[in-house]
Structure 1
Amino acid sequence: MFLEKLCNSMGPSGYENETRKVILDELGMFTKDINVDRMGNVVVHKNSSSNSPKVMVASHMDELGLIITGYNEDGTLKFSTIGEVDKNSLPCKTILIGDEKISGIIGIKPIHLQNKKEVNKSLSCENMCIDIGAFSKKECSKIVSLGDFAVFDNHFCYFGDDFIEGKALDSRIGCSILMELLKQDFKCNLYGVFSVQGNIEQRGIYGAAYNIDPDVTIILDAINSMDILETPGYLRTIQLTGGPIIPFKGGESIFDKDIGESIRNEAINKGIPYQKVGDTQREGELKAVRISVNDCKIAAVLMPCRYMNCNISLCSKADYQNTLELLKNYLKEL
């Protein structure tokens, strides 16, 4: 399964080589209209026509990760995060470091040795280290280099009757849906973009959007589900198995009203469940496209995902299928 290969690949922001190769290998099975730009974005162009509007569907391929920043005298590693990782979720997680996939464990001062102040405060990278089984700074520096990246050592699997879990699922699930869309035939002038560095201010999509200069952009991404323990009922606006989310607003920017309405109407006409959300709280790729392209109509179709900023995520197979069917039917109407 392509989604499984994606989730199990290593590709934190700025180090997407392995994930990009998985995408290129899959694309090579059915199209030659592939371009990798200078930033590393993968762009596929289908049904080129000078008379029809350019439609860009974009999903970022990178994942959250860590980067090695120094050595400790005891042979452990200092590190920092790549992207907005929930630092409180890091202790005792297993990781893989660099292209050699060296195993490591994120260590922390044992709970019984922590004082009350240490127990109650939020964690930072300075409170933790990475243990690779070395016993000195010299030994450690021979195994791992400064600047090496690290990703969480989790594997894709099915969970319960309707769920899938995996590392980087929050970004790779959009790439999987985009791949399925590119296997279809549409009448619109379609550009599929697998962008890089989405977790660090959406850097990749700036260049791709500027080069393509689309008339319409659909952002394909994930959003945190709110249906978890101790969340008040009035805040449970995004739920797993409720279908894709079609928001009205993202941060300080507004999604295009007409495009959003037409996507919602398509869902209603086809009997596809979907969820309305007033505001995604953050602009994400919306801001990047808005700044890069003049007069582009922008909408988003987002999949609910639990534990997005942690080492593993959880999504619904039903949401995946409904998101795919919605976009497939919408693009056929263009």
Structure 2
Amino acid sequence: MFNLVNKLTKAFGVSGSEGGIRDAIIEEIKDSVDEITTDVLGNLIALKKGKGNGKKIMLAAHMDEIGVMATYIDDKGFVRFSNIGGVSPSCSVGQRVVFQNGVRGSVFYEEKLQDLRSLKLSKMYIDIGAGTREDAQKMIAIGSVACFEGAAVMQNGMITSKALDDRSGCAVLVSTIRALPETDNELYFVFTVQEELGLRGARTAAYQIQPDLAVAVDVTLTGDTPGCNPMEVKCGSGPAIKIKDSSIICHPQVRSLLEDTAKKLNIPYQLEILDRGGNDSGAIHITAGGIPAGTLSIPCRYVHSPCETVSLSDMEQAVRILTCAVT
């Protein structure tokens, strides 16, 4: 599993520029599914046909990651930027980014800034080592996008990397595809685009597929770090089955399916209530007249930072639950 996560997190895939990660996933699943298509928005849809008259099930994980976009280059070659998705100013300071063409840069803030509490992305810049605007323009252009750098490492059963939101979910889906036995159900594995910008890809994919039920696989926040907001979810205590977030109250049919499967397999699981945020299930469940939808979550520390951290065992258990639930 770690080798797969390592490969997927290395791939470039900022929201709206998911070509690199899409190609990486295709390479991993092309021999294990019956059909692979890419829709107009860029969603990757992989179909495993059923052998009977079962249900049509959609399993979704978003393949895009947060990033930045170059908006202005000053006379000395420093690059101003805006966010793509939920980029935190405090988590960005001192980090390195890599543009889609391979150019690398370092993020820092204006020296005249007096108080870090007033830190804003508009007061920050990217240093790509250019001496003039002309030099910088030979390296990148206005509108060029970059992701944060943060290579995947594993220690004591914990994986730390950038883009585990949601390449960990993508890895769970890829592993589920590989593990699946024959089933009566028609399974659509959808690796969605532009989730970080408002659940966009999942909405169009769900409208196209119109499944009987859907499960999104994504990360969720945890309550197991010093001084954090109280929350039941912890890394290493099993996958979390979502009850609600700000975009969805999960359908009882889907929630029961996931809970009953975990109990059947004697797999520890947690129940998740998220006060803010959402994921692809929030768009899926209100599409095409309504679709029963829920979420299987991977507990993740430091979400939307270059050092997101998950438990390998939580991911492996999620694969077991998902594989059994859809067969």
TM class, shorter-length: over 0.9
Corresponding residue for 2:246? Answer: 251
- 1:1-334 residue pairs with structure 2 within 5 A? 1-48=3-50, 51-99=53-101, 101-110=102-111, 114-115=113-114, 118-121=115-118, 123-159=119-155, 161-183=156-178, 184-185=180-181, 186-231=183-228, 235-251=230-246, 253-279=248-274, 281-332=276-327
SS at structure 2 position matched to 1:292: coil
Partner Cα distance (2:226, 2:220) in 1: 17
CA distance in 1, matches of 2:282, 2:32: 32
Q: Return 5+ residue gaps in structure 2 as ranges.
A: none
1:279 is displaced (CA, Å) by 4.0
Task: Kindly provide the CA deviation profile for residues 257-304 of structure 1, in whole angstroms up to 9, marking residues without a partner as x.
Answer: 122123112212211010012345334323311232224111110010
Q: Identity of paired residues, percent?
A: 27
Indicate the RMSD between aligned Cα atoms, in angstroms.
1.6
CA displacement, residues 123-163 of structure 1 (integer Å, 9 cap, x when unaligned) = 2111111001112112211211111111112211112x110
Q: Is the 8 A contact 2:50 2:184 kept in 1?
A: no
Could you tell me how far apart the structure 1 residues matched to 2:216 and 2:317 are? Answer: 16
Give the conservation status (yes or no) of the 8 Å contact 2:161–2:307.
yes
**TM-score normalised by length of structure 2:** 0.94
Distance 1:55 1:6 in 2: 24
More off after superposition, 262-271 vs 19-28? 262-271
What is the DSSP-based 3-state SS (H/G/I as helix, E as strand, rest coil) of the residue aligned with 1:178? helix
Give the Å deviation of 1:50: 7.7
Quote the offset at 1:187 in angstroms. 2.7
CA distance in 2, matches of 1:172, 1:17: 14
Q: SS of the counterpart of 2:309?
A: strand
CA 1:224 to 1:93, structure 2 compared with 1: closer, same or farther past 3 Å? same
Contact 2:33 2:47 in 1 (8 A): no
Displacement of 1:320 in angstroms is 0.9
Counterpart residue type for residue 132 of structure 1 = I
Runs of at least 5 residues in structure 1 that lack an aligned partner in the other structure: none
Query: 2:85–2:196: 8 Å Cα contact kept in structure 1?
Result: yes
C-alpha distance in structure 1 between counterparts of 2:152 and 2:189, whole Å: 24
| Aligned residues of 1:247 and 1:280 also touching (Cα < 8 A) | no
Change (3 A) 1:103 1:137: same
TM-score, normalised relative to structure 1: 0.92
Q: Distance in 2 between matches of 1:64 and 1:322?
A: 26
Q: How many pairs does the alignment contain?
A: 323
